[in-house]
Chain A
C-alpha cells in the first residue's frame, strides 16, 4: 500500500518540463482541428479519423502525465498574490495577453486537482467518443467537417478548464458554445436542425452576457478593494503588498487574486484592532461607479449573474430550453458536449470560484434552489418523452440540477464527483442510444422499438449498467455520487435560509425518484418486451454495431462501475471518521472555501446525520421508483398491451409530453414580441428612414444639385479665367478694406 502510494505521489518529471508542456494539451486537438478543417476534404476518411482520434488520444496521454505530476508530494505552485506556495498544482504563465491601463489579462494555464480531474474526463471520454464517431459517421459525407469541429471543441473545453483567469476561461466558454452550435446544426440542410443550433447559440448568449457583466463587476470590486483595504484585512503588511503586486502584475481576473480577495474579506464587522476598521462585506465601496453599495451586495449580484451565465451553459432554469433541442446533432456529439463535458462548465465555474460563492449565503441558496427545481422539473418532463435522445437530454438537465444543488450547499466535491460519474454513465447511455439508432435504421421513438436486447447484446448490457448507475442502484457509481449530494444537502443549512435547504432536500429526493422512473421506462420500452408493431425495420434486420462503437460502450460501462472508488469513504478524516476519496482528493482546492464557511458560519455542516440513513433512503427511493415504472409499463401504459392508460395519467402525460408549454411560453413572451419589434424596425427604420430618406435621399439631392450646377460648366476656358480674375479682385478688395481699417 505504502509503495503504491509512493509510486503515484512521486512524479518522474521535473517541474519545468511539465510547465512548459502544458500548452501542448490544448494545442494537439487544436492542430487536429486545423488539419481536418483545412485539408480534411483531401485526406480521405481513414486519415481524417486517425488524425482526429490520435490528437485527442495524445492529449489524454499528456493529461495523464500532468495528473501524475501534480500528485507529487513536493509539487508546489507560486502566484504573486500569495506569499505561501500552493500545493498540488502546476501553472504556466505565457505572458500578458493584453493590457489596457489597470486591466491586465495574462495567458496563463493552471492544472490542479480540480482542473486535472476534468482534464482526464474531457480527454478520456473525448477519445472514446472520437473512436465511436469513426464508425457512427462512417456513412456521412461531411466526416472531415465533423471531426474538425469535434477536435476544436475538445481544444476549447481544455482551454476553459486550464485557464487561470476568468477571461481566458471565457474564451473557452465561448469556444465550446461555438462548437456546440456548429455541431447541433451539423446537418444544416434540415431547417429544424439549423434552427436548433441557432436556439442553442442565442440562449447561451443571454447567459454569456451575464457572465461578462459579472466579470466587469469583479474587476471593479478588485480595484476598489485594493484601495480601501488595510493591513487588518490581510493580517500582515507582506500579504497586503503581495496582493497589490499580484493585481499589478496579473490583473484583476486571475483566480488566485479572487481567492486572495475572498480570504481578505472578513464577514464579521468590527474585529479591527487598530486604526480605520478593516473592509468587510458590510463596508460600502468608497469610489468608482459602484460607490455607496456594500461589497456583500455587489458580490451577491456578481454571483447571481454568474448563476445566469452558468444556467445558460449548463441548461438550468430558466435557460434550459436549448439542450433538449440540441439533440438534433449527431449522437456522439450529444454524448460528449451535451452530457459529459460542455454542459458541466457551469458547475466547474462555481467550483473554481467556490471561495467567492461561500461569501454569499443568498447566492448559494439561489444556486441550490435553481438546481433543485431544474432537477425535478426536467425529471417530470422526461416521464413522457418518446424520443430516446430527448429523455436522455432531460435527464442530463436533471442531473446537472443535482450538481447545482451540491454547489449551492457548498458540497463542491460532491458536485465534481457527480460530474465525473455522470460523464461516464451518461456518455455510455447516449452512445448506447446512438448504437440502438444505428442498428434500427435511425429510429429514435422508444414506442417503435422494443425487444432490442435480443439482437444487440453488448449495447443491452452496457445500457443496463449505465441505467442502473444513473438510477442509483448499489453498488454503482451513480449511487455514491447522487447520495453524496443528497446527504450533503440534508446535513447542511445555509445561514438565514434554513427552510430552503430542507425544501431543496425534498425536491432532490423527488427528482431522484423521478430519475429512477424515467430511466427504467426508457430501458424497458427499448430493450424489453416484444418488437413494436409499427417498428421501422423488422427484428431480423436489427444488427449489433461494430467494434469501434462497442468498445467505448464497454469501457464507459466499466468506468461507471469503477468510479465507485471515488465515492466510498476510505480516507481518514480526523475526528469525523472517514471521508470519500473524492472529498479528500479535492480538499486542497476547496480549502479556502471550507475555512471561510467554518470561520464565518454562513454554512453550517452537520456531521450528525448518519450516512447509513441516507444510503438506505436513496436505495429505497431508487428501487421503489424502478419498481413503479416496471409495474406501470408492464400493466398499463404500452398501448400495444391493449390496456388503456388511466385518465389522470393521460392528462399528466399530455402536459409533460408537451414540456409544460415552456417553449410556447418563451415564444409568446420573448420571441414573438422581438419579432414584432424587429419587423416594425425593418418597416419603419430600415425601409423608410435608412433606405428611402438616408440612402436614396442623399442620391436624389446630389443629382438635383448637380443638374443645376451643370449650367455653369460651359467649357469656355476664358469664362473660367474671368471667374478666377473676379475672385482675385474680390480678394484684393477685401484685403484692401482690411488694411485701410
Chain B
C-alpha cells in the first residue's frame, strides 16, 4: 500500500505547478487549465485523507469540487469566448479593465 505522504507530495507538486501556471502564463485558456489543475490537486488531497480515515467524507467533498469546477469551467469559458469576440484576443495582459 502506497503511504499517504506520497499522495500528499504529488498533490502539492500538482498544486504548485497549477499556481505557477496561473501566475506566469499569458493565455487565458491555459490559465484556466492551471486552475483546474489546482482544483484537482485539492481533490487528490481529499481522497488521500478519506482513504486514511476510511470514511466517505473526503469523497463527498471531492464530488462537490468536481461539480463546482464543472460550473466554473462552463462560465469561465463563456467569459473567455465573450472577451475574444469583443477584443479579438485571449492574452491576459490585454485585459486590464479592472483598474481604477
- Residues of A bordering B, CB below 8 Å: 710, 713-718, 721-722, 725
Contacts and interface: CB of A to CB of B under 8 A. Distances in A.
Contact of A710 (B31, B92, B96, B100): B100
Contacts of B98: 713, 715, 717
6 contacts: A713-B99, A714-B99, A716-B93, A717-B98, A718-B22, A722-B23
A718 B97 CA distance: 13
Contacts of B23: 718, 721-722, 725
B91 to A, nearest CB: 11
A712 B76 CA distance: 25
A725 B97 contact: no
A725 B100 contact: no
Interface in B69-100: 92-93, 95-100
B99 A717 contact: no
B2 interface: no
Interface in B1-53: 19, 22-24, 31
Contacts of A710: 100
Contacts of B100: 710, 713
B96 A716 contact: yes
Nearest to A709: B100
B25 to A, nearest CB: 8
B34 to A, nearest CB: 10
Contacts, number: 27
A713 B99 CA distance: 5
B53 to A, nearest CB: 20
A210 B90 CA distance: 77
Nearest to A710: B100
Contacts of A715: 96-99
B16 to A, nearest CB: 10
Given A715-B98, A716-B96, A717-B31, 13 more contacts: A713-B98, A713-B99, A714-B96, A714-B99, A715-B96, A715-B97, A717-B95, A717-B98, A718-B22, A718-B24, A718-B31, A721-B19, A725-B23
Nearest to B35: A721
Contacts of B93: 716
5 residue pairs, one from A and one from B, having the closest CB atoms: A715-B99, A715-B96, A710-B100, A715-B98, A713-B100
Interface residues of B, number: 13
A741 to B, nearest CB: 22
B19 A725 contact: yes
A626 to B, nearest CB: 90
A708 to B, nearest CB: 12
A717 B96 CA distance: 8
A722 B23 CA distance: 6
Nearest to A715: B99
Nearest to B22: A721
A713 B100 CA distance: 6
B12 to A, nearest CB: 11
A725 B24 CA distance: 12
B19 to A, nearest CB: 6
Give the interface centre of B23, B92, B95 by most chain A CB atoms within 10 Å: B23
Nearest to B25: A718
A717 B97 contact: no
Nearest to A716: B96
Nearest to B24: A718
B75 to A, nearest CB: 16
A717 B93 CA distance: 8
Contacts of B22: 718, 721
Contacts of B95: 717
Nearest to A717: B92
A707 to B, nearest CB: 9
A192 to B, nearest CB: 58
Nearest to A718: B23
A725 B99 CA distance: 20
B15 to A, nearest CB: 10
A717 B34 CA distance: 14
Contacts of B96: 714-716
A111 B100 CA distance: 74
A371 to B, nearest CB: 76
Contacts of B31: 717-718
A725 B16 CA distance: 10
A725 B100 CA distance: 23
A739 to B, nearest CB: 15
A716 B92 CA distance: 8
A718 B22 CA distance: 7
A725 B95 CA distance: 21
Nearest to B26: A718
A279 B31 CA distance: 88
A714 B100 CA distance: 8
B86 to A, nearest CB: 16
A3 to B, nearest CB: 97
A716 B28 CA distance: 12
Interface in B51-72: none
Contacts of B19: 721, 725
A514 to B, nearest CB: 82
Give the interface centre of B95, B96, B100 by most chain A CB atoms within 10 Å: B100
B47 to A, nearest CB: 21
Contacts of A722: 23
Contacts of B92: 717-718
A704 to B, nearest CB: 15
Give the interface centre of A710, A713, A715 by most chain B CB atoms within 10 Å: A715
Contacts of A717: 31, 92, 95, 98
A716 B95 CA distance: 8
A48 to B, nearest CB: 63
Contacts of A718: 22-24, 31, 92
A726 to B, nearest CB: 10
A715 B94 CA distance: 10
Contacts of A716: 93, 96
Contacts of A714: 96, 99
Nearest to B20: A725
A297 B92 CA distance: 85
